[in-house]
Amino acid sequence: MRPDLPDNEQELLSLRDEYGLLRVSAAGDYRFLTFGESSEQSCCYLPEPHWLEYDYTRAMLLGCHWAPPSPRAALLGLGAGSLANALLAHFSPQQLDAVELRPQVLALAREHFALTDDPRLRVHVGCAEQWLNSAGQPFDLLMVDLYMEGGISRLQLQADFFRLCRQSLSAQGVLVINQWQMGTSGRPYAERQLRSVLGDYLQVQVQEGNMLLFAAPEGHSLPLVRAGLRDWATGLQASLGYSLQPFVDGLRNS
């Protein structure tokens, strides 16, 4: 279990790539990756690199409940790599493909954020949409977390991209999307596009304001059996070091 987050944050480095400013800062055993001046993207607790600090990343783990055992998984948007580390540490994927647009972000994840060298992890540098179009195999778990300095990626506002993601699922696959909330409405950005492609989906709102969405392949739906979810979350709590119960309790149909 980690200690309380310290306050003495100090910048370690800053650099620019073709997409803008990247900053790495530290506070005690924590490392932070920031896009631009103030858009904090990732947090890593170095003694436990698989620890998830943000509620939205913890909530994304709910998708593992419906995915088959030892899933073939993909993560669109690597960031500093904490979510990839957590998936590999706790959910035994047979393979995890992670796609990151920015080569410098991948370099920083390896140098400053303890990105795992687990052989099951394959990192691809490039556009998530192009990679998904060429992947050639379906995924049992597909997590979408694409953000830039200015906010949500344009891909996560497009019906065609959501359709591609859904078409990339196996018959038992689960799609997880980290989407922003529209103001305080309790509704995700691109709700119209999401509904046109996904129909009904499950969603949960977290403290940071994000909306996490969970969907099944076309012709299927994810069952919301809260008792089973609670038992599953309870079984994970000791190894995770935090509880997923608040997200189970907040989960609802769209």
Structure tokens given for 2: 């980690």
- Angle at CA of residue 162, ends 177 and 34, nearest 5°: 45
The H-or-E segment that residue 175 falls in is strand 169-180
CATH topology for 55-239? Rossmann fold (3.40.50)
pLDDT at 4: 59
Q: By C-alpha distance, which of 101, 73, 69, 105 is closest to 87?
A: 73
pTM, two decimal places: 0.96
For 166-222, what is each residue's pLDDT tens digit? 999 999 999 999 999 998 899 999 999 999 999 999 999 998 889 999 999 999 999
Domain ranges of the chain: 55-239
Half-sphere CA count of 62, side-chain side, radius 13 A: 35
- Give CA–CA dist 212/193, Å, rounded: 15
pLDDT for 150 equals: 87
228-246 pLDDT tens trace: 999 999 999 999 999 999 9
